[in-house]
Chain A
Amino acid sequence: MPAGIVGAAETPYRRPSEGATLPLLAEAARSALADAGLRPRDVDGLAVASFSLAPDRAIDVAWRLGLRLRWVMEDTNGGASGLNMLQHAVRAVEAGDARAVLLLAGDALGADGFRELAEAYNSATRAHLAPIPTGGPNALFALLTRRHMEQHGLDREAYGHVVITQRRWAVRNPNAVFREAPSLDEYLAAPPVAEPLTRYDCVPIVSGADAVVVAEGGVVVASLAARHNYDNQDGDGLETGLREVADDLWTQAGLAPDEVDVVSVYDDYPVVVLLQLADLGLVPEGDVPRFVVDRLAPGGYPLNTSGGQLSAGQAGAAGGLHGLVEAVRQLRGEAGERQVDGARTAVVSGYGMVLYRYGACSNAVVLRRGA
């Protein structure tokens, strides 16, 4: 039997000042194991991703959770960590190195903690961005958005439609931080954060954790692919590594992109959503303006049906599992009021690690409802 997802859970996302990292990871772990019908003693593999774990590491988490392991990893790839851990866990189960792998990702980072993290993100940021100052990734994605607008002939409305589409789903998600959809006028009139981005274009920082259990059975991982440091940061950032892997991803899954029922793409900024949709082949003929008008503006497109991080919040490294957990819920028919009828397949993407100007890590999985 192929490896799949047998458990998925997310803690309620809380204000950034509340909660602490280890208890949040434990809470998510307990919920996911209960969801899988497993106990801690059944777990023999652990993968952890967190920006606020130090000085502890994955093995400390194993100890604190009472897990005796045959397989362990810690993942440090930001928004791509969730699916990177999934990739490794799936292979571990397929190879027989582990029977039940628990994936954990979460953070309790306040605004100050986030700022400190952002300014020291890597040596290139510390050396050449923080002194400007850029104060984190907002300015970089403002530049990227401008370039995207120019290349595709888009105006700010397009990004507003991404935000509004997701917020409309969030209205039906009791766990989302933001559950009201702005009108397009409200979106356009919001005060700027880094022009052309406003607060609607930036994720709310929250505390929380997500967890997934990988074992034989469950929601099937039909295909997965990754590209990291795809272009050595030599490009303009408008093409992610997904562009190169999309064909294989769909072929291996036996699915055409326009057949997929649920789409969970990493959404740190609306522009990144549109980039990934195009790279995954979900934008017919790559015509982004047409896609916005035809598919997003009318409402109901199954994009980030939890509301995404832009509505539900970004709990640090949990962001990379958030879309996966939502997709699993959809495929199991557990999405409540936001259930996409008859959801049988989903595509989930991860994106992360801004090395200098844009994210270097990209990954994606296609999931199928289990038997």
Chain B
Amino acid sequence: MRRPFVVSVCAECGYAAFPDRLLCPRCGEARWERREAPAGVVESTARLHRAPGRDYRPPIEIALVRLRCGPLVVARAEDELAPGDPVTLALETGAPLAGRRERAS
């Protein structure tokens, strides 16, 4: 089931965390707010063919995405993506998915 991509934001200092933390690494507080944060830009990609005990056919396309709010996220690329592409992230059973975000006209 597809859900919006969310990060945790420190209520004290605004540090955005993905994956979640317990205490804010910047200010040490433990008050977090969940915030939808779907927008990002592709930083790099990798095409995964094999892992120990696994062959992926077709290969899995992996993208490293920089969220507008700060964190770097490892996602499965749903479109053919290249570094610099703006993307929208969603979550499916915990897996971040990245799809190309069309520019507003």
Contact = CB atoms under 8 A, between A and B. Distances in A.
Interface of A: 111-112, 114-115, 118, 124, 127-129, 131-136, 138-140, 142-143, 146-147, 150, 191-196, 205, 232, 234, 236, 356-357
B74 A357 contact: yes
Given A134-B62, A356-B19, A194 B94 contact: no
B94 A135 contact: no
A136 B52 contact: yes
Contact of B51 (A135, A146, A147, A234): A135
Nearest to B55: A135
Given A128-B74, A232-B25, A115 B44 contact: no
A135 B62 contact: no
A194 B50 contact: yes
Contact of B19 (A127, A195, A196): A127
A298 B51 CA distance: 32
Nearest to B96: A128
Contacts of B49: 191-195
Contacts of A129: 74
B92 interface: yes
**Most chain-B Cβ atoms within 10 A of its Cβ — which of A114, A193, A196?**
A193
Contact of B48 (A114, A128, A135, A356): A135
**Most chain-A Cβ atoms within 10 A of its Cβ — which of B19, B48, B52?**
B52
B92 A134 contact: no
Contacts of B92: 131
Contacts, number: 106
**Most chain-A Cβ atoms within 10 A of its Cβ — which of B47, B51, B56?**
B51
Nearest to A135: B51
A356 B21 CA distance: 12
Contacts of B48: 134-135, 138-139, 142, 194
What range describes how many residues of B lie at the interface?
Answer: 20 to 34
9 contacts: A118-B51, A132-B95, A133-B56, A135-B48, A143-B46, A195-B49, A196-B46, A356-B74, A357-B64
A115 B74 contact: no
Contact of A127 (B71, B72, B75, B94): B94
A128 B94 contact: yes
A59 B103 CA distance: 60
B53 A234 contact: no
Interface in B38-79: 43-54, 56, 60, 62, 64, 71-72, 74-76
List the 3 shortest-distance A-B pairs measured between CB atoms, nearest first.
Answer: A135-B51, A142-B46, A131-B95
A118 B54 CA distance: 12
Given A112-B53, A118-B51, 7 more contacts: A115-B53, A118-B52, A135-B52, A136-B52, A139-B62, A147-B43, A194-B51
A119 to B, nearest CB: 9
B94 A205 contact: no
Contact of B44 (A133, A136, A138, A143): A143
A193 B75 contact: no
B44 A147 contact: yes
A107 to B, nearest CB: 13
Given A131-B94, A136-B51, A146 B56 contact: no
Contacts of B71: 234
Nearest to A133: B60
A77 B92 CA distance: 30
Nearest to B73: A128
